[in-house]
């Protein structure tokens, strides 16, 4: 069976040991102190210079024709990874490839193969929606008739047909995001990069976007999206790389990743005093695979069930003279996986 025109086989995206260090200047005690850095020079009363380590040897491979997710909290390195793969951020070390092309040695060839939607829409407010799509396609050599026909088709698909002749200056954030994604699809890129595509969208628009992304993928295109939305990663992605501090800490299908969490369920218990004396006793409960501290007065129990454990925990705490102020049960999820690997929530 022959491969359809424009559809690739093998690997479409490859990152080998990507490292990126940003040099930043900041006032003493200013923002960024919690981020990893290689070096900092501090001069009393003056600005300091920090080398912020955004990518720390990140390696990954994306198969042709898959929807691949980069999941992690803000500041994890997701956007920097996309930047390094799409010629926008030059890495400090490592290599990146789109198909057979080295991103930083063959930038023109790479740009012809990719479409990129950044977190913040970068539309020309002096143009109409239709002009934005048409002008973008012109950069890729499409004829006027072809690009105008495709622009109208995409505007209709994104439910923007009635706005083709309107300036985008007055568009809402959701309309701008839809138009940005339509623009990225205009030249039929082999790999479409979407950086937080559904951020700030209402539920109805989010579902429309997911539907269009699936359609584009069904045509044999590769999608790479970043998100800190567990529902989006679970619903959309064939595989997910969980990223934290510029490194891939877990990789697999959503189902595989959720199964890899010890026990699956996480029961977080908040006590009214330090519960260190309870740890070993709670570990002995049937079905509990691990117990970890989650702050000064809280414990996370990883278990094969949730609710049935609560009475046992309450009884054991009462016997030890400890009160319980809160209990939260999480079913198996990518959120739990991230919590298991990092000790913190994706929302933190």
Per-residue pLDDT of the chain in tens (348 residues, 90 and over written 9): 333 334 445 889 999 999 999 887 544 444 444 444 444 445 455 555 678 899 999 999 999 999 999 988 888 899 999 999 999 999 999 999 999 999 999 999 999 999 999 888 889 999 999 999 999 999 999 999 999 999 999 999 999 999 999 999 989 888 999 999 999 999 999 999 999 888 878 888 889 999 999 999 999 999 999 988 878 888 899 999 999 889 998 899 988 887 777 667 888 999 998 898 899 999 999 888 888 888 889 998 888 878 888 999 999 999 999 999 999 887 767 776 777 666 666 555
pLDDT of residue 44: 54
Kindly state the tokens that stand for 189: 């890129």
Rounded to whole angstroms, how far apart are CA atoms 164 and 161?
6
Which ranges constitute the DSSP H helices of 78-228? 78-85, 107-113, 129-138, 144-157, 173-185, 203-218
Kindly state the tokens that stand for 230: 């567990």
pLDDT of residue 99: 95
Side-chain-side CA neighbours of residue 37 (13 Å): 17
| Cα 106 to chain centroid, rounded | 26
Q: Which residue has the tokens 């309450």?
A: 314
Partners of 48 in the β-ladder: 26
pLDDT of residue 28: 42
Rounded to whole angstroms, how far apart are CA atoms 195 and 21?
20
pLDDT of residue 3: 35
Decide: helix, strand or coil at residue 126.
Answer: coil
pLDDT of residue 331: 76
pLDDT of residue 263: 66
Decide: helix, strand or coil at residue 321.
Answer: coil
């Amino acid at each position: 069976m022959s491969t359809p025109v424009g559809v690739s086989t093998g690997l479409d995206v490859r990152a080998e040991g990507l490292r990126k260090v940003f040099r930043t200047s900041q006032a003493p005690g200013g923002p960024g102190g919690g981020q990893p850095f290689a070096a900092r020079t501090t001069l009393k009363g003056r600005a300091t210079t920090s080398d912020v380590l955004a990518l720390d040897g990140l390696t990954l491979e994306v198969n042709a024709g898959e929807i691949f997710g980069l999941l992690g909290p803000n500041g994890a390195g997701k956007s920097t990874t996309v930047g390094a793969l799409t010629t926008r951020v030059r890495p400090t070390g490592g290599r990146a490839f789109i198909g057979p092309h080295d991103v930083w040695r063959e930038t023109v060839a790479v740009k012809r193969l990719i479409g990129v939607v950044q977190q913040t829409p970068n539309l020309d407010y002096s143009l109409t929606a239709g002009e934005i799509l048409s002008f973008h396609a012109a950069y890729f050599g499409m004829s006027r008739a072809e690009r105008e026909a495709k622009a109208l088709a995409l505007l209709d698909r994104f439910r923007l047909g009635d706005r083709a002749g309107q300036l985008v200056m007055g568009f809402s954030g959701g309309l701008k995001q839809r138009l940005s994604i339509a623009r990225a699809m205009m030249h039929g890129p082999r790999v479409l990069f979407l950086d937080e595509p559904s951020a700030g969208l209402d539920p109805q628009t989010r579902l429309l976007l997911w539907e269009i992304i699936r359609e584009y993928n069904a045509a044999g295109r590769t999608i790479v999206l970043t998100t800190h939305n567990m529902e989006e990663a679970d619903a959309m992605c064939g595989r997910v790389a969980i990223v934290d501090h510029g490194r891939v800490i877990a990789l697999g299908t959503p189902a595989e990743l959720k199964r890899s969490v010890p026990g699956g369920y996480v029961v977080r218990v908040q006590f009214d005093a330090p519960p260190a004396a309870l740890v070993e006793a709670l570990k002995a409960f049937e079905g509990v695979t691990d117990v970890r501290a989650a702050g000064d007065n809280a414990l996370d129990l990883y278990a094969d069930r949730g609710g049935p454990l609560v009475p046992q925990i309450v009884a054991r705490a009462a016997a030890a003279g400890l009160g319980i102020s809160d209990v939260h049960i999480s079913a198996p999820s990518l959120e739990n996986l991230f919590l298991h690997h990092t000790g913190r929530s994706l929302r933190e």
